[in-house]
Amino acid sequence: MLYQKNCLRAQLSQVIDALPVTAHPMTQFTAGIMALQVESEFQKAYGNGLPKSKLWEPTYEDCLNLIARLPPVASYVYRRIFKDGKSIEADDSLDYAANLSHMLGFDDPRMLELMRLHVTIHADHEGGNISSHTGHLVGSALSDPYLSFASSVNGLAGPLHGLANQEALLWLKSIIQETGSDVTTDQLKDYVWKTLKSGKVVHGFGHGVLRRTDPRYLCQREFALKYLPEDPLFQLLSKLYEVVPPILTELGKVKNPWPNVDAHSGLLLNHFGLSETRYHTVLFGVSRSMGVGSQLIWDRALGLPLERPKSVTMEWLENYCKNKAA
């Protein structure tokens, strides 16, 4: 293990414990990442005048350290909020994902397998999603990997992005609470329309880029069919797979009516006892560090420039508003 347990614990407790225990787990997670930033090799090297062509080297070191330290940060947050702060030491004999599960307090071999799947599929799928793009954007100012990744995590905490896994599971649970687990197709249709008519989106469906069922949804479904086919939330989601896409299509504006990764992940964690829904996005964040980190290393190795959005004129803006209002 790359991290020093005791030293890390002191750093984390000083920063995270300053927040109310009721703060959202993602807020506590970001604060923990910022607490680690003081050890940035990149920041030191930049301060010492390391030339641009060599900046990928401390970026690489920071990314490895960051990835290694996230399971202790994530488990610190979980145990602080939900388990009276009683921490569990890392087990060096376990792989990365299994150790994460172990430090959270879950040692069931099926949960370890689930965590391996979870960490693998949430790492990244392309650089255009909000968390990955934000990491790249902030890193383009030569902010170190800790600063860049903390920004990524803040993007991930939005309900249209990573927090959708929390929202999707809460929504599934609300259906069961309202209708019971023997819900009929007609009841489900009504519930979906009720959600849409109240101005909400159906979390766990749709995507900014994909135009078919998210492959990460499908591999989680395979896992569920193998390990928890009778789980009521899984059975409900399977029914929704038939019900939601035609309704979203009927809206006439949704480009992809199919389910995404976030529809499925929460119910799997829930099945093995990690039922604190508000915490689930933190695990997404741990995994996403691998995608963001790899991208940051490439950005510096290729010497990519500062990223700027395109700007528009007042005329463009006026026309845009007129078209929207028409």
Ligand X SMILES: CC(C)(COP(=O)(O)OP(=O)(O)OC[C@H]1O[C@@H](n2cnc3c(N)ncnc32)[C@H](O)[C@@H]1OP(=O)(O)O)[C@@H](O)C(=O)NCCC(=O)NCCS
The pattern of x and - marking residues 152 through 181 that bind ligand X according to CB under 6 A reads: --------xx--x-----------------
Using rule CB under 6 A, residue 300 touches ligand X? no
Least distance from ligand X to the Cβ atom of residue 111, Å: 23
Q: Please tell me which residue in 262, 264, 271, 299 is annotated as part of the active site.
A: 262
Q: How many CA atoms lie within 13 A of 279 on its CB side?
A: 20
Q: Please tell me which residue in 102, 136, 203, 207 is annotated as part of the active site.
A: 207
Task: Give catalytic status of residue 207 as yes or no.
Answer: yes
Length of the chain: 326
Segment near ligand X (CB under 6 A), from 8-16, 71-79, 148-156, 197-205? 197-205
Using rule CB under 6 A, residue 26 touches ligand X? no
Task: Give catalytic status of residue 271 as yes or no.
Answer: no
Contact 145, 42 (CB under 8 A): yes
Using rule CB under 6 A, residue 264 touches ligand X? no
Q: How many residues bind ligand X (CB under 6 A)?
A: 20
Beta bridge partners of 205: 259
Using rule CB under 6 A, residue 260 touches ligand X? yes
Using rule CB under 6 A, residue 213 touches ligand X? no
Using rule CB under 6 A, residue 201 touches ligand X? yes
Using rule CB under 6 A, residue 207 touches ligand X? yes
Total Cβ atoms within 10 A of residue 184: 10
Segment near ligand X (CB under 6 A), from 92-100, 109-117, 145-153, 254-262? 254-262
Segment near ligand X (CB under 6 A), from 65-73, 220-228, 249-257, 298-306? 249-257
Q: Return d(Cα 38, Cα 52) in angstroms, integer.
A: 21
Q: Please tell me which residue in 24, 118, 122, 161 is annotated as part of the active site.
A: 161
Q: Return d(Cα 84, Cα 72) in angstroms, integer.
A: 16
Given the complex with ligand X, which of 149 and 258 has the nearer CB atom?
258
Q: CA nearest 276: which of 13, 21, 100, 25?
A: 25
Q: Which residue type does 138 have?
A: V
Given the complex with ligand X, which of 261 and 282 has the nearer CB atom?
261
Least distance from ligand X to the Cβ atom of residue 63, Å: 24
Q: Return d(Cα 124, Cα 288) in angstroms, integer.
A: 6
224-227: which pairs have CB atoms within 8 A and are 24 or more residues apart?
224/264, 224/267, 224/268, 227/110, 227/113, 227/114, 227/271
Given the complex with ligand X, which of 106 and 284 has the nearer CB atom?
284
First to last CA, the chain: 59
Least distance from ligand X to the Cβ atom of residue 214, Å: 7
Segment near ligand X (CB under 6 A), from 89-97, 182-190, 194-202, 287-295? 194-202
Instruction: Give phi and psi for 253, each to the nearest 5.
Output: -125, -15
In the bound state, the residue with its beta carbon closest to ligand X is 206
Q: CA nearest 145: which of 307, 308, 298, 302?
A: 298
Q: Which helix (H) or strand (E) holds 93?
A: none
**What is the set of active-site residues?**
161, 207, 262
- Per CB under 6 A, residues contacting ligand X are 160-161, 164, 196, 201-208, 248, 253-256, 260-262
